């Protein structure tokens, strides 16, 4: 086709014009053609020497030059670090309350200090993510129930307030204070607020551990959104095993409840992660959890969870084993958070994971006869 008579001076074209860029669609139609022609098939298609041949045929879908349909959340390592620290803070708060209720002063002191340190560090990572401290204050301008981040900010602030009071009471007992004067009055006051603060910290701890799962799920990132029914369980189990692991590693004489919580957390984490993987498998979204850096982290996390959980069983016998299993559990929790966040970001970058599940969801609805809720209509 030409519109200019000068084009008659061009040399004749031989064959159809080559496309400048090979898209996924070309690869798919090419593979389909190969199968039809009975020659090469997707089984013996090689990847050009650099990649191994794919084990399954490419999914049939059209895309726009391989561009992502949705945008990945612009979060870096601060957010998974925040998720981990929040989990440690929440679990430690519960351990502190339990220790206070059952009269274990050593465990109460170390878990209160751990909780305070973790919550302070998690606030710091949040500010690091936002860039400037006053941006955190921007979030305290409003309460917005439709925003998990707004709800989470208030949960974190409430938890930090109660944890601060409980830790201050703990510290006032640790340092020698004069018997009279303002400091003595302060100590008395702290003694009065200690019990309510402990209860408050314990009540704010479960939401602090669980809301982060909602924070991730309430996005269109395919892996996070589709794991909305499993992720909270993974995260609370991860928080329990991480905080119990930290207490196991911190000092002797903390076996018993901490050991039980560590084993309980590790076991729940394995079960919940397995259920999550099964669910995503059915949606063909498991691949981001298994490949790349995210896959490596999650595999290592699983191995460390198993090792740490088994180690925690025998933590009473050996101090070294207690420290090793405690560190393993905490590391497993951190790796889980980083792995889940990275897998989600990866699933957002590849249009396959956005279009594929949506397309299938849509076709299933249409097969059932439900056509009223589609965004595409003919009139």
Partner 1 sequence: MGYLARQLAGRTDPAPDAGWEEAPERKGFFTDTSICIGCKACEVACKEWNALPLDGLGLSGNSYDNTGGLGASTWRHVAFVEQSKDRILEARASGRRLVDLGMPQVGAPSPAPSPSATPSLPPAPEGHGPDLRDLLAAANGAGTEETAYPGGGEVTAAEVSAMGAPLPDFRWLMASDVCKHCTHAGCLDVCPTGALFRSEHGTVVVQADVCNGCGYCVGACPFGVIERRTDSAVSVRADGHVPDVGVAQKCTLCYDRLTDGQTPACAQTCPTTSIRFGTREEMVALARARVAQLHEQGFTEARLYGANDDDGVGGTGSVFLLLDEPEVYGLPPDPVVPTARLAEMFRTAGIAGLGLLGAAAVAFLGRRP
Query: Measuring CA to CA, which residue among 92, 121, 80, 85 is closest to residue 297?
Result: 80
Q: Work out how close the CB of 126 gets to partner 1 at its nearest, in angstroms, rounded to a whole number.
A: 9
CB hemisphere CA count around 182 (13 angstroms): 0
Instruction: Tell me the β-bridge partners of 180.
Output: none
CA distance 372 to 379: 12
Other beta carbons within 10 Å of 231: 25
Q: Which is nearer to partner 1, 102 or 188 (CB)?
A: 102
CB 166 within 8 A of CB 201: yes
Q: Which is nearer to partner 1, 186 or 260 (CB)?
A: 260
Q: Which is nearer to partner 1, 153 or 273 (CB)?
A: 153
Q: Work out how close the CB of 304 gets to partner 1 at its nearest, in angstroms, rounded to a whole number.
A: 20
Q: Which is nearer to partner 1, 265 or 311 (CB)?
A: 265
SS3 annotation, 67-106? CCCCCCCCCCCHHHHHHHHHHHHHHHHHHHHHHHHHCCHH
Q: Work out how close the CB of 42 gets to partner 1 at its nearest, in angstroms, rounded to a whole number.
A: 20
Q: Which is nearer to partner 1, 187 or 265 (CB)?
A: 265
Task: Give phi and psi for 345, each to the nearest 5.
Answer: -60, -40
Q: Work out how close the CB of 325 gets to partner 1 at its nearest, in angstroms, rounded to a whole number.
A: 16
The residues, any chain, with a CB within 8 Å of residue 319's CB and separated by 6 or more, are 252
Q: Which is nearer to partner 1, 41 or 136 (CB)?
A: 136
Q: Which is nearer to partner 1, 104 or 187 (CB)?
A: 104
15: left (phi over 0), alpha (psi -120 to 50) or beta: left
Provide the residue count of the chain. 379
CB 312 within 8 A of CB 266: yes
Tracing tokens 């274990």 back to the chain, one arrives at 104
Q: Work out how close the CB of 147 gets to partner 1 at its nearest, in angstroms, rounded to a whole number.
A: 5
CB 251 within 8 A of CB 330: no
CB 127 within 8 A of CB 78: no
Q: Work out how close the CB of 44 gets to partner 1 at its nearest, in angstroms, rounded to a whole number.
A: 26
Q: Which is nearer to partner 1, 68 or 171 (CB)?
A: 68
Q: Work out how close the CB of 188 gets to partner 1 at its nearest, in angstroms, rounded to a whole number.
A: 28
Q: Work out how close the CB of 177 gets to partner 1 at its nearest, in angstroms, rounded to a whole number.
A: 29
CA distance 302 to 332: 7
Other beta carbons within 10 Å of 193: 15
CA distance 340 to 227: 10
Q: Which is nearer to partner 1, 138 or 278 (CB)?
A: 138
The residues, any chain, with a CB within 8 Å of residue 216's CB and separated by 6 or more, are 224, 231, 340, 341, 344
CA distance 120 to 117: 5
Q: Work out how close the CB of 213 gets to partner 1 at its nearest, in angstroms, rounded to a whole number.
A: 6
Q: Work out how close the CB of 321 gets to partner 1 at its nearest, in angstroms, rounded to a whole number.
A: 18
Q: Which is nearer to partner 1, 190 or 231 (CB)?
A: 231
């Amino acid at each position: 086709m030409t519109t200019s008579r000068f084009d008659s001076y061009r040399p004749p074209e031989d064959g159809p014009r080559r496309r400048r860029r090979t898209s996924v669609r070309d690869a798919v139609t090419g593979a389909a053609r190969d199968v039809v022609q009975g020659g090469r098939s997707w089984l013996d298609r090689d990847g050009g020497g650099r990649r191994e041949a794919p084990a399954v045929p490419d999914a049939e879908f059209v895309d726009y030059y391989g561009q992502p349909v949705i945008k990945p959340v612009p979060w870096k390592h601060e957010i998974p670090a925040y998720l981990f620290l929040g989990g440690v803070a929440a679990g430690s708060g519960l351990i502190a309350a339990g220790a206070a209720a059952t009269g274990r002063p050593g465990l109460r002191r170390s878990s209160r200090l751990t909780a305070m340190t973790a919550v302070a560090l998690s606030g710091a990572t949040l500010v690091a993510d936002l860039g400037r401290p006053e941006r955190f204050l921007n979030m305290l301008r409003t309460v917005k129930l439709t925003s998990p981040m707004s709800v989470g900010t208030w949960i974190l602030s409430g938890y930090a307030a109660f944890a601060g009071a409980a830790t201050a009471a703990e510290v006032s007992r640790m340092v020698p204070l004069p018997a009279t004067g303002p400091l003595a009055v302060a100590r008395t006051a702290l003694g009065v607020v200690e019990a309510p603060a402990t209860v408050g910290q314990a009540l704010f701890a479960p939401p602090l551990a669980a809301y982060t799962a909602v924070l991730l799920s309430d996005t269109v990132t395919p892996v996070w959104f589709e794991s909305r029914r499993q992720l909270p369980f993974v995260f609370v189990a991860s928080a329990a095993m991480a905080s119990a692991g930290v207490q196991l590693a911190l000092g002797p004489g903390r076996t018993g409840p901490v050991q039980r919580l560590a084993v309980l957390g590790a076991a729940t984490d394995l079960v919940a992660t397995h259920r999550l993987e099964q669910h995503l498998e059915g949606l063909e979204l498991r691949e981001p959890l298994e490949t790349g850096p995210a896959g490596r982290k999650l595999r290592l996390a699983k191995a460390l969870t198993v090792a740490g959980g088994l180690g925690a069983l025998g933590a009473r016998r050996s101090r070294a084993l207690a420290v090793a299993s405690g560190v393993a559990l905490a590391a497993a929790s951190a790796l889980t958070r980083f792995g889940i966040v990275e897998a989600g970001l990866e699933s957002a970058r590849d249009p396959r994971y956005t279009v594929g599940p949506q397309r299938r969801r849509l076709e299933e609805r249409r097969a059932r006869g439900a056509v009223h809720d589609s965004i595409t209509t003919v009139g």
